[in-house]
Structures are given as structure tokens and as C-alpha cells.
Amino acid sequence: MKKIYFGFLFTILFILGHTQSGNQIDVQAHQLVNLFAQNRIVEYANFPDESISYQNVNMIITMGCMNGDSCSHWDYDLDVYVGDSTGVMDSTLVSIDSTNMNSALWDTTWNVFEVIEWHELGRYVTPYGNYMNWNQEGFDGAWEHYLSYDVTDFSPMLRGNTPIRVYFHGWQEGFRISVDFEITEGNPTRDVVSIENIYRGGGYSSFAQFDAERTPATQVPIPAAADEAKLRVIVTGHGQSGEFTPITYTVKANGTTVRVEDIWRDDCDKLAISPQGGTWLLGRANWCPGDAVEVHDFELSEYIQGSGANQYIDLDIDFENYSPPAAASYSLSAQMITYDSYRRDYDVLMDEIIAPTANDNFTRFNPVCDKPMVRIKNYGIQELTYCEIAYWVDHTNKYYFDWNGSLQSGETADVELPGMNWSNLDLSNLEFFASVNWPNNLPDQFVHNNEKSTLFEIPAVYNTNALRVRFRTNNKPEENAFTLVASDGTIVANEATFNASTFNTYDYNLSDGCYTFEMTDYGNDWEAGDGLSWWFNTQNNIETSGYVEFRNGANNQIIQSFTRDFGASLRWSFLINSDLQMLTGNSTSTQSFHPETTPYTSPSGEEFLQVYDTIWISEDKIVIGENAPVGIKESIDEYGIEVFPNPTNGIVSLVVVSSDNKEIPVQLLDLLGQQIDVFTVKTNNPRSYDLGELSEGFYLFSFTIDGTKISKKISIFK
């Protein structure tokens, strides 16, 4: 069933001025719920009503051991759904009093209920919990791990008293779960118009069977109020052939291939939850034990056909045609989500702090003493090619980095930042901050998602300059290499050639400071890294066991041991005879260089930032030149200024009509406010100007009259 949210859109439009942008609201659904075999657990969560608009909604799944002490040894998939009212009533028979054989007098009891349509919010696969159960490899039964899912698309459903369902597909108990929602108040990037379940998966025996039963071609109506559309797909493979066979699926719109997507993950050997007791490091059909299942988004706005009430998309999903030699099934959830147009051109989000952080989703990158790393995301409709990133541990000592690249809407980038000065640490509350702003050199339109902070840990300190790396190879040393790099980028060691099953000793005389050691492993046996010792290899005589450790070169005492079952890589940062606060930063920027902005509030109460004298930016719009906000436009209208023809392929005429005869200064600017030319125009005297050497696009003529700047936008079309 398609749910269309016209009433919701009207409410949002009505209450825009009452939104407290940036406020966070926390909503709890499931709290420490034990998961038993084939559980379907429904809890009702109390969300805000439509008087609060949502800029963003994150669902937080926290997984732990049952009762805080017992974890299952097997990996199972777990889905979380939001329930949507259909308005349809149904019933089931509870009992029949058949003591009176006169059927007309039978006393029958019915359970009457409303039919709920369930929409999948996100999927999680539990880890192999052996080590949590056995108190090994740094784990114990009190272990917990959380993952965050962006579920903003379902904002219209997350209102009032709403059912949230957890479906645990496991056949063995041993986990417990909490489900929470973090809501950021503010106008959304784009308003949702409708949400519709399109496809659900099942067993796969052949392409013809699966296509006919699960993914047939279908025409999806698009509401008249919708300008944009997206297909949201979650798919995982199961069964012996479905789990371990890499195949693809193709999304088609109106007969045209939108994208071919892999149903496969080959990065399980890099998991944050590692090591695990089972075959955690093997590639699988779009899932890894102990991690969230990736959501595949397909933007389909350009494929909308028709107009008004007759809009539609002819949709089809084709799975790769193959004959599975053993059981195969695909758990598929595909939803069509339609939207109003994007609200913001420029909105960049500080998505994650990857390092330094105590967040256990990034244990493979932490702790650090050299280069911070963050993840940014483009939330605006325009391609993001530049932004400024600030980072600090002390507000009086900020560092800045200019990021350049290319991110389309919804895309993310992991950014390694230059080293910094760690001075003025609060050792009782180690906190790192990072913020992002100035997308494409313009002020961000939604600043409330620009900054994050996180607690972090200080790396180990070794009070010796003599570092000894002791490496015992296994029988496949060709899979290994290691590096040792100083924080200034100096490569101290780069070793990649070893003999099998031998002891190797490497001595380094290190200066005081920060260093990072990294060992890698990759094998063709599994097309993955299997560390220096993995239980499956040793039990089946595939590989022997090796290890690596640090020793004090002065007395040969062990100062650091490492897990042998590390999968693809082992990374470790450490300090030599140094406190973190003593390190000298390598950042090249401690200042921010951007134009000044002036706040402006229109008579209607809408707040703007004015930049480059010609551009006004609010949370919902960008206004340029002659389309200035109310209150500015009135002063512009007092002057008669014309630039024509518009658009032009070269020559334009500029006219300023006034009762006074004077010279008017004029600037020619691009849309980022960069000056191209400056000249003057006499009032009441048309002047020709040749734009023929400029590229196609939009430009501004900025006229200064009695201290007021008035702009006219011109389009060059050749």
C-alpha cells in the first residue's frame, strides 16, 4: 500500500517558523529486550506529533549479550520495522462455545485488530559471540556495540504512538537489543510525499522463478505533489549458495538500466568487531557478521514520466541469472520514496569523527597521535566541490583544512586531516571537536549539523628509544607486510619479504614523538586477510600460527602484544618518551579565510546571511540580486536598472534611469562573488558591454548607488 502524506506536508509548511532547529529529541522503542528464536517483538515508541519538524532522524541499534552475560555463537540477521496504519480491520477466531449445538446460539469470540503494514528501517547481522561468552580477545559478556542508521526518509511515519518491530531470524537465543531514535529538529532536506513497499524477497531456484514471484516489472504511480523519487533497497543472500555466491542485480526504470549493484561484501576482514569466533572474515552476500547491512539508494527523479495525477515510473529489478547448486534465498526489501523538491542547495554535514575517538565502530583507526580523520556528507542538491573543516581540542587553538573534491547529494568522503597541536588537553575529559562549513565557499544553509565532538583515548607511551619488532611468520609469509611511520610522514620501516615459519627481529632507534605501526595480511585462499593465526586455518592445517610483538630493545622485555587473528590489518599508534601535549602539529592552517557575512531579518521574520553584497542565504533558499528578500527589494525598486537582452550570447546593454546625472560604479562578478571586471555607467545613458569571452552560465552586474549595492543577474547562453 502506498501512503501519501499531504496532511503532513501542509502541517510542516504551516509550522516552519516554530521549529527549534538543531534541538535533539531522544525517543526509546526497545530497551534491553532479550532475543529468542524467531522473535517478533513490537514496542510502541512515543514520537513527537506534527508540530515538530524533523531535519534528520537516526535509529540507534545497541546489541549486547542476553542478560548481560551470554552471547550466541552464531550469526543471525535482525530487521527493524516501523508500522504504518492501513485503516483496514481484520480478525482471528479465539474460541467457540459449542456446548449448545444450535449453531445460531453459538458464543464465538473474535480477536479484532487493525492491519499494520511494516516498512523495514534497517538490518543488522549479529556477530559470532564466542569470545564474548569465553571472556577472550578483550571481550566479555558485558560487551555492547551500537550502530547508527539514517532513517530520515521515514519521518512521516515516526509520529505519535508508533509501533516499532524487531524481527530476530535466529534459531538460538543469546543476544539482547535496544532500539532508540535521535531526532534533530529543523526543516528536512526534502519533504517526503509518499512511501510504498514495492518488492520482497524469498527463495531463488532460477531467474524466471524469482523474477515472476519476487521482482516482476511493475508500474509505480508517482503522486502529483512529488517532484523527485528514490528506490531504497536492502538485500542479503542466505543459504549455502545465496550466502557465499557473489551475484548482481540490475535496477531498471522505463526500460533503462539505472545501475548494476553487487550483492556482495569483501571487507568483512576489516570489521570493527574483531576477532570473532566463527568465519567472520569471509566475503558474503552483502553482509558481514556484527555489522549493519548496507542500504542501496537509486535516485529515480529523472525517470518520472507523465504529469499531474498521471505521473509514474515503470520499474523493474533483475537478479543475475544463475543456477544455485545448493539452497539460495534473498531477503529483499525495496521501497519507493517520493519527495518534494530539495529545500537546500548547500548543506554539508559532519557525519562522523573517525579518529581520534573512543567509538568502538572505529577501533581499527584508534587510538591516534598524528592525523585526525573525519567523514563529511553532502546534504544539499548541488555538487559539493569545496568545504572548510575546523578541528580542535581547545577552542582557542583551532586548525583549519580546505577540502576539495566532488560529492553528489547523499555521498560521503573520509578526510584525513593534517596533524595538530594537542596542547591544553583536559586529561579528565579528553574531547575532540570537528566542524564543517562553507560548502562551495558559501555559508552553510543548515549549520545545526555542522559540528560533532567525541571522547578519545591517549595512545600507549613507551619509555625507550630502542624499539624491537619481533615477528614470527607462519607458513605463508608472502601474505604479510608491515610499515612503521613517524607522524611527520617519515617512513622508518617498510618490510615485505620474509621467510616462512621463522623468527624475525628488527631494531629501530626512534626519536621522541608519535609513530604508527601497521601490519597487513591478504590471502588468495579466502580472498581476504586472515591474520597470523585463524582457528579455521590451524584446525584444517591450511596455515600455521605466527605472531608479532613489541619489545624494549635495551632489555628485550615485551612491551606490547597483539592479537594474531586480526583479519586484513593491524594498526597501532604509540608515543616514544612523549606526552601527547608535547607533540608539535604539522597543520599548515590555523586561520579561516572567508568573506564576512551580515545577518538580516526580513519583516516576515525570516533570517538571512548576506554575503558578497549580492547573495542572501537562509535555511530554505538562496536569493541573488534582483530577487532580494522582502525589505531589501523595496529599496532596489526605487532605481530603474535594466540589463538586456537576458539571456545573451555576448553583447548586453546596461541602463540606469535616474533624475540625477552621475557615474555609477559597476562590478561584474561570478556567482561566488569573485570580481571579473569593474567599470562605470552614466545614468540615463545606455552602455554596451561584451560578455562574449566568458563561459556559459550565470553572472552578476553589481551597481553601487548612494552606498546601496543593487545586482542584476545575467545568463550567458551560446
Q: How confident is the model at residue 102 (pLDDT cuts 50, 70, 90)?
A: low
Q: What percentage of the chain exceeds 90 in pLDDT?
A: 61
Question: pLDDT (tens digit, 9 = 90+) per residue, 140-161?
Answer: 989 999 999 999 999 999 999 9
Find cell 583544512 and name the residue. 401
Please say if the pLDDT value at position 264 is more than 50: yes
Q: How confident is the model at residue 283 (pLDDT cuts 50, 70, 90)?
A: very high
| CATH code linked to domain 626-716 | 2.60.40.1930
The CA distance from 379 to 382, in Å, is 9
Residue 547 burial (10 A CB sphere; 0-12, 13-18, 19+): middle
Residues 6+ apart with CB under 8 A from 67: 34, 176
The whole-number average pLDDT for the span 494-519 is: 95
Question: pLDDT (tens digit, 9 = 90+) per residue, 478-502?
Answer: 999 999 999 888 999 999 999 999 9
Q: What is the 3-state secondary structure (H, E, C) of 536-567?
A: HHHHCCCCCCCEEEEEECCCCCEEEECCCCCC
Mean per-residue pLDDT over the chain, rounded: 87
Q: Which pLDDT value is given to residue 526?
A: 87
Query: How is domain 464-576 classified at the CATH fold level?
Result: Lipoxygenase-1 (2.60.60)
Instruction: Kindly give the pairing relationship between strand 348-355 and strand 373-378.
Output: antiparallel
Q: Which pLDDT value is given to residue 90?
A: 52
The CA distance from 374 to 425, in Å, is 20
Please say if the pLDDT value at position 263 is more than 80: yes
Kindly state the cell numbers that stand for 248. 548482481
The whole-number average pLDDT for the span 113-133 is: 89
Question: pLDDT (tens digit, 9 = 90+) per residue, 639-657?
Answer: 678 787 778 878 887 888 7
Query: How is domain 190-342 classified at the CATH fold level?
Result: Jelly Rolls (2.60.120)
Question: pLDDT (tens digit, 9 = 90+) per residue, 70-90?
Answer: 899 999 999 999 998 866 655
Q: Which pLDDT value is given to residue 332?
A: 95
Phi/psi for 553 (5° steps) reads -65, -20
The CA distance from 523 to 542, in Å, is 11
Q: How confident is the model at residue 637 (pLDDT cuts 50, 70, 90)?
A: very low
Same-fold call for 1-88+118-188 versus 190-342? yes
Question: pLDDT (tens digit, 9 = 90+) per residue, 391-402?
Answer: 999 887 889 999
Residues 6+ apart with CB under 8 A from 13: none
Question: pLDDT (tens digit, 9 = 90+) per residue, 336-388?
Answer: 999 998 888 889 999 999 999 999 999 999 999 989 999 999 998 888 888 99
Q: Which of the residue ranges 10-14, 349-353, 530-534 would you say has the lowest mean pLDDT?
A: 10-14
Q: In what order do the strands lie in the sheet with 312-319?
A: 218-221, 312-319, 247-253, 256-263
Q: What's the CATH class of domain 1-88+118-188? A: mainly beta
The CA distance from 387 to 364, in Å, is 27
Q: How confident is the model at residue 62 (pLDDT cuts 50, 70, 90)?
A: very high
Question: pLDDT (tens digit, 9 = 90+) per residue, 412-470?
Answer: 999 999 988 888 888 888 999 999 998 888 889 988 899 999 999 999 999 999 999 99
Handedness of CA 341, 343, 349, 352 (dihedral sign): negative
SS3 694: coil
Please say if the pLDDT value at position 599 is more than 90: no
Q: How confident is the model at residue 11 (pLDDT cuts 50, 70, 90)?
A: very low
Task: State if pTM tops 0.95.
Answer: no
The whole-number average pLDDT for the span 170-176 is: 87
Please say if the pLDDT value at position 104 is more than 70: no
The CA distance from 81 to 165, in Å, is 5
Please say if the pLDDT value at position 179 is more than 60: yes
Assess contact for 677 and 668: CB atoms under 8 A.
yes
Q: What is the residue extent of each domain of the chain?
A: 1-88+118-188, 190-342, 348-460, 464-576, 626-716
Assess contact for 456 and 358: CB atoms under 8 A.
yes
More confident residue, 714 or 221: 221
The whole-number average pLDDT for the span 182-192 is: 92
Q: Which pLDDT value is given to residue 61?
A: 96
Q: How confident is the model at residue 709 (pLDDT cuts 50, 70, 90)?
A: confident
Query: How is domain 348-460 classified at the CATH fold level?
Result: Immunoglobulin-like (2.60.40)
Question: pLDDT (tens digit, 9 = 90+) per residue, 295-315?
Answer: 999 999 999 999 999 999 999
